Structure 1
Amino acid sequence: MCGIWALFGYDTTDVTQFTCALTMAHRGPDCFRFENVSEMRNAKLAFHRLEVVGNVGGMQVMTSSTHDQLPHLTLICNGEIYNCRKLKEEFAFEFESTSDCEVILHLYDKFGAEETSKLLDGVFAYVIVDTREYRVIISRDTFGIRPMFYYVTKDGQMGVCSEVKGESEFIHTSPGCGEDKTGLIQAFPPAHYMVCDSKVGSHYLIGQLLKCCYVTGDNNDVIKKNIRTLMTNAVEKRLMSYRRVGSLLSGGLDSSLVAAITAQKLRERGVEQPIQTFSIGVESSPDVIAARKVAEHIKSEHHEVTFSPQEGIRALEETIFALESYDVTTVRASIPMYLISRYISENTDTIVIMSGEGADELAQGYIYFHKQPSPQEGDIESKRLLTDLYLFDVLRTDRSTAAHGLEVRAPFLDHAFVSYFLSLPASKRMPQVSNGVEKHLLRSSFDGTNLIPTEILWRRKEAFSDGVTSKKRSWFEILQEHIDSMISDEELDKARENYPFHTPRTKEALFYRRTFESKFGSKLSKLIPYQWLPRWTGSDDPSARVLAHYQNDEE
Structure 2
Amino acid sequence: MCGFVGFTGTDEQSELVLTAMMNRIIHRGPDMGGQHIVDNVALGFRRLSILDLSEAGAQPMSSDDGKVTIVFNGEIYNFQELRAELEAAGYAFHCNADTEVLVHGYEEWGEDLVNRLRGMYAFVIHDQNKNKLFGARDIFGIKPFYYYQASDGSLLFGSEIKSFLDHPKFEKAVNHDALRPYLTLQFPATEETFFRGVFKLAPAHCFTYDLTTNTMDIKRYWSCDFTDDNSKTFEEYVDECDKVVHESVAAHRIADVKVGSFLSGGVDSSYIAACLMPDTTYSVGFDYKNFNETNYAAELSDKLGIKNVRKMITADEFFDALPDIQYHMDEPQSNLSSVPLYYLAQMASEEVTVVLSGEGADELFAGYEWYEDTPEMRSFKKRVPLGVRRALGSLVQHLPYFKGHNFLTKCAEVPERWYVGQAKVFDPSEVDEVLKPAYDTGKNAAEMCAEYYKQVPNCCELSKKQYLDMNMWLPGDILLKADKMCMAHSLELRVPFLDKKVMEFAEHIPANYRVNEEGCKLVLRHAANRTLPDEWATRKKVGFPVPVKFWLREQKYYDYVKEYFTAPWAADFFDTDALMKLLDDHFEGRALNQRKIYTTLTFLIWYKRFFIDEDKGAEVAA
**Aligned residues of 1:316 and 1:335 also touching (Cα < 8 A):** yes
Shift of 1:488: 4.7
Q: Is 2:306 the counterpart of 1:300? A: yes
Distance in 1 (alpha carbons) for counterparts of 2:210 and 2:7: 15
Distance in 2 (alpha carbons) for counterparts of 1:218 and 1:363: 16
Aligned match of 1:205: 218
Shift of 1:487: 4.2
Shift of 1:480: 7.0
Change (3 A) 1:317 1:383: same
Shift of 1:509: 1.9
Identity of aligned residues (%): 25
Aligned match of 1:270: none
Of residues 356, 359, 376, the one that matches 2:358 is 356
Aligned match of 1:511: 601
Aligned match of 2:524: 442
Of residues 49, 53, 56, the one that matches 2:47 is 49
Change (3 A) 1:7 1:199: closer
1:446-492: per-residue Cα shift (whole Å, max 9, x none)? 33x2x22211111111012x1xx5xxxx3454357565434459958
TM-score, scaled to structure 2: 0.73
Of residues 226, 229, 232, the one that matches 2:240 is 226
Gaps spanning 5+ residues in structure 1: where? 264-273, 523-555
Q: Is 2:463 the counterpart of 1:382? A: no
Question: In structure 2, what residue type is equivalent to 1:45?
Answer: L
Of residues 88, 96, 99, the one that matches 2:97 is 99
Distance in 2 (alpha carbons) for counterparts of 1:212 and 1:193: 19
SS in 2 for 1:392: helix
Distance in 1 (alpha carbons) for counterparts of 2:101 and 2:226: 23
Shift of 1:315: 1.3
1:86-130: per-residue Cα shift (whole Å, max 9, x none)? 1121232321222111111112112211x1111111111001001
Q: Is 2:145 the counterpart of 1:148? A: yes
Aligned match of 1:34: 35
**Aligned residues of 1:213 and 1:420 also touching (Cα < 8 A):** no
**Aligned residues of 1:247 and 1:353 also touching (Cα < 8 A):** yes
Distance in 1 (alpha carbons) for counterparts of 2:131 and 2:487: 33
Shift of 1:219: 0.8
Q: Is 2:509 the counterpart of 1:424? A: yes
Pick which of 177-186 and 76-85 moved more: 177-186
Question: In structure 1, what residue type is equivalent to 2:67?
Answer: H
1:105-254 paired onto structure 2 within 5 Å: 105-113=103-111, 115-167=112-164, 169-171=165-167, 174=168, 177-179=170-172, 183-210=196-223, 217-254=231-268
Aligned match of 1:339: 343
Distance in 1 (alpha carbons) for counterparts of 2:296 and 2:342: 21
Of residues 408, 412, 430, the one that matches 2:497 is 412
Aligned match of 2:543: 463
Distance in 2 (alpha carbons) for counterparts of 1:368 and 1:337: 23
Distance in 2 (alpha carbons) for counterparts of 1:378 and 1:480: 38
Shift of 1:282: 2.2
1:128-180: per-residue Cα shift (whole Å, max 9, x none)? 0011111111111011111111112342201111111101x124xx2x54446
Shift of 1:234: 1.1
- Structure number, greater radius of gyration: 2
Distance in 2 (alpha carbons) for counterparts of 1:480 and 1:205: 48
**Aligned residues of 2:67 and 2:128 also touching (Cα < 8 A):** yes
Shift of 1:357: 0.4
Distance in 1 (alpha carbons) for counterparts of 2:549 and 2:157: 35
Question: In structure 2, what residue type is equivalent to 1:185?
Answer: V
**Aligned residues of 2:323 and 2:609 also touching (Cα < 8 A):** no
Change (3 A) 1:13 1:480: farther
**Aligned residues of 2:148 and 2:155 also touching (Cα < 8 A):** yes
Distance in 2 (alpha carbons) for counterparts of 1:251 and 1:368: 21
Aligned match of 1:4: 4
Question: In structure 2, what residue type is equivalent to 1:7?
Answer: F
Question: In structure 2, what residue type is equivalent to 1:170?
Answer: D
Question: In structure 1, what residue type is equivalent to 2:300?
Answer: V
1:363-408: per-residue Cα shift (whole Å, max 9, x none)? 2222222246449222111111111222111011111111111100
Question: In structure 2, what residue type is equivalent to 1:287?
Answer: E
Change (3 A) 1:72 1:497: same
Aligned match of 1:82: 77
Question: In structure 2, what residue type is equivalent to 1:103?
Answer: V
Distance in 1 (alpha carbons) for counterparts of 2:160 and 2:603: 18
Gaps spanning 5+ residues in structure 2: where? 175-194, 374-409, 414-458, 583-595, 613-622
Question: In structure 1, what residue type is equivalent to 2:293?
Answer: D
Aligned match of 2:619: none
Q: Is 2:67 the counterpart of 1:72? A: yes
**Aligned residues of 1:483 and 1:507 also touching (Cα < 8 A):** no
Q: Is 2:484 the counterpart of 1:399? A: yes
**Aligned residues of 2:7 and 2:42 also touching (Cα < 8 A):** yes
Question: In structure 1, what residue type is equivalent to 2:535?
Answer: E
Change (3 A) 1:177 1:83: closer
Change (3 A) 1:285 1:490: closer
**Aligned residues of 1:362 and 1:383 also touching (Cα < 8 A):** no
Aligned match of 2:317: 311
Aligned match of 2:281: 277
Distance in 2 (alpha carbons) for counterparts of 1:413 and 1:321: 26
SS in 2 for 1:424: coil
Question: In structure 1, what residue type is equivalent to 2:318?
Answer: G
Distance in 2 (alpha carbons) for counterparts of 1:217 and 1:231: 21
**Aligned residues of 2:28 and 2:487 also touching (Cα < 8 A):** yes
Question: In structure 2, what residue type is equivalent to 1:463?
Answer: G
Distance in 2 (alpha carbons) for counterparts of 1:376 and 1:416: 23
**Aligned residues of 2:355 and 2:491 also touching (Cα < 8 A):** yes
Aligned-residue Cα RMSD (Å) equals 2.8
Of residues 551, 559, 565, the one that matches 1:478 is 551
Change (3 A) 1:166 1:490: closer
SS in 2 for 1:261: helix
Aligned match of 2:443: none
**Aligned residues of 1:196 and 1:204 also touching (Cα < 8 A):** yes
Question: In structure 1, what residue type is equivalent to 2:132?
Answer: R
Change (3 A) 1:12 1:237: farther
Shift of 1:243: 0.5
Distance in 2 (alpha carbons) for counterparts of 1:508 and 1:485: 13
SS in 1 for 2:504: helix
Change (3 A) 1:479 1:282: same
Aligned match of 1:370: 372
Change (3 A) 1:404 1:490: closer
Distance in 1 (alpha carbons) for counterparts of 2:67 and 2:172: 35
Change (3 A) 1:7 1:425: same
Distance in 1 (alpha carbons) for counterparts of 2:32 and 2:560: 41
**Aligned residues of 2:266 and 2:536 also touching (Cα < 8 A):** yes
Question: In structure 1, what residue type is equivalent to 2:245?
Answer: M
**Aligned residues of 1:363 and 1:442 also touching (Cα < 8 A):** yes
TM-score, scaled to structure 1: 0.81
**Aligned residues of 1:317 and 1:515 also touching (Cα < 8 A):** yes
